[in-house]
Amino acid sequence: MKNIFLLTASMMCADFGNLEREVRDLEAAGIDSFHIDIMDGRYVNNFAMSLYDMECIARLTKKPLDVHLMIEHPRNSIDIFLNELRPGDTVYIHPEAEYHPSATIQKIIDAGMHPGIAINPGTSVETIKELLRIVDSVLVMAVNPGNASQMFLPFVGEKIEQLIKLRDKMGFKLFWDGACGADKIKKYAPHGVDGFVLGTTVLFEQKRTYKETIEAIRKLDFDYLGNDISK
């Protein structure tokens, strides 16, 4: 049986000195979408990509953008992002960052985008269960948000299993974000995770080309990549 899952590139891990080349190379390699992490230094204690980085990538590709807003009270500023995106792009918010997350989700829907929520490791499925009925995508954080190259938090695996059981009933797609190594893709893609955000663990800062890496991931051929899948 062929494994069908989506791959999105975490652009905060890309070479910003050659951003256009990075986008072109990833697109040619067969990436499905571009993941853009926006951080405000308040919701998380880091700053990452900006509105202008997002605009630049949107100009360079027709592939979908997945915009992950790690910002406080996104409803107050979400229009500046929605105005620069294309119908069909996805926008994720963190429910904890908003007083009334369903109202912010409705703004995303009204703008013609796919609404999504991002779930922190410490956020239980029970606390966001009602929102699962009104979003298209759920982004499960396998690390605490705010920085790349973190260690996987093993208790997130149980949350993934819970969400897989709810997905078909509620009609959302399930994505993995953070510490996404070969072992995680090999285990959870066949179990039903719809897509994976690829960062430094398996895509960037590797010796092989993006095309070689992405082709091997789609085949679940991790021996070829030289990744230890026994961990």
Residue 37 appears among annotated catalytic residues: yes
C-alpha radius of gyration, the chain, whole number: 17
Residue with tokens 């922190």: 120
Give the three-state DSSP class for 179: coil
Give the three-state DSSP class for 5: coil
Query: Which residue in 66, 177, 223, 228 is the catalytic one?
Result: 177
Residue 79 appears among annotated catalytic residues: no
Question: What Cα–Cα distance (Å) separates residue 136 from each residue in 113, 172, 182, 195, 216?
Answer: 10, 5, 26, 13, 28
* Amino acid, single-letter form, for residue 29: A
Residues 54, 50: Cα–Cα separation, whole Å = 6
Residues 145, 156: Cα–Cα separation, whole Å = 13
Query: Which residue in 37, 66, 89, 183 is the catalytic one?
Result: 37
Residues 52, 222: Cα–Cα separation, whole Å = 35
Let me know: does 227 contact 181? Beta carbons within 8 Å.
yes
The residues that are catalytic are: 37, 177
